[in-house]
Amino acid sequence: MGLLDLTRLLRRRDAAAQPQPGGQTDAEAAGPQTRPHGDPVPEPPGLAGPCRFFAYATGRRCIDQQAITPPEREVLRNLDRVLEAPSAVASWIPRPPAVLPRLLACLRDDDVSLREACTLIQADPYLAAEILRLANSARHQHGAPVTELERAATRLGVDGLRRAVSASLLRPLFDALRDPLLGQALPRLWTHAQSKSGWCHAIAPVRGVDAFDAYLAGLTHNIGWIGALKAVGRASIGSTPEYSGEFVLALTRRSERMFACSAEQWAVNDALSRLGATLRACSLEDAGDALAQVLYQADARATAELAAA
């Protein structure tokens, strides 16, 4: 099922949930539901999802019946020492450019000054070129090609411009590094982030979540894996072809906490900061707020989609 199919399905189910004569929705008439609108429920917490993602991202095997090894425990202890001082996480995970929160503040709602945003974009030649490229792509082109940044921004619209700016400025954070394990994983982490952010953007409106806040969460969530895999790569097990499922599950939680600490420190926008505070306290699958639930569902869908490809 693609994003367009999902959007149509959710809209149909949303419409079916409107009150019917007699005061009940179709969903209420059918009896209790585990999730609103009868959406497919992501896999329950366990090893299957984390193992599938880890194998996709790293190309290494995850053995779900294998007990954690002493070297794996040492990696987790090292990560825990880093996480005890959240400010130390910054040396393990790259930070988005300082212009990103400034641009998002300019583009916070529809009543914005595109001229102010374009002034900030123009200072980054790569970003300006990317905005022009997207505005002239087949998806957005309506008439003659545009060569002026303000016209390109107008063509993309506020939501399209926010997503284009975020993706362009965050993409370099996933550039390959010298570490073999992380170097192999980074391109896949970015591909997964793009898929996840798309699912977030499609699912969010039905959940009452701002679509761009969800998109940004999906785009940045995998950054926590940069720190987690850096710790694995630096350890004696960095070249190991397989890892225990117990270790991968624990590593997944550490990656979420590294993302959480980073999201709070970045102060990119309020929603991402609040999500960071939430995920420092509990795992993604246990988080109760709507944005975390959207992210959890999108993460599961992106993993299933890419791991099966």
- pLDDT tens for 240-255 read 999 999 999 999 999 9
- Tell me the Ramachandran region of residue 46: left when phi exceeds 0, alpha when psi lies from -120 to 50, beta otherwise: left
Q: Give tens-digit pLDDT for 77-93.
A: 999 999 998 788 888 98
Q: Which residue has the tokens 């980074």?
A: 186
More confident residue, 1 or 234: 234
Helices assigned H by DSSP within 46-124: 48-58, 70-83, 99-106, 114-122
Tokens of 96: 């988005």
Supply the pLDDT for residue 72: 97
- As separate numbers, helices (DSSP H) first and strands (DSSP E) second, the chain gives 14, 2
Q: Give tens-digit pLDDT for 23-70.
A: 333 322 222 222 333 343 343 345 788 999 999 999 999 998 888 999
Q: How far apart are CA 308 and CA 52, in angstroms?
A: 9
- The arithmetic mean of pLDDT across residues 192-211, rounded, is 96
**Which residue from 99, 81, 97, 100 is spatially nearest to 89, judged by alpha carbons?**
81
Asked if residue 209 lies in contact with residue 291, where contact means CB atoms within 8 angstroms, the answer is yes
Tokens of 187: 């391109």
Sequence-distant (≥ 6) Cβ neighbours of residue 232 within 8 angstroms: 75, 181, 238, 251
Supply the pLDDT for residue 109: 60
Beta bridge partner(s), residue 242: 61
- Out of 161-165, 222-226, 234-238, 285-289, the most confident range is 222-226
What confidence category does residue 140 fall into, taking pLDDT thresholds of 50, 70 and 90?
A: low
Q: Give tens-digit pLDDT for 100-136.
A: 988 888 887 655 677 888 889 988 989 999 999 988 8
Parse the chain into domains and list their residue ranges.
Answer: 46-95+174-307, 101-168
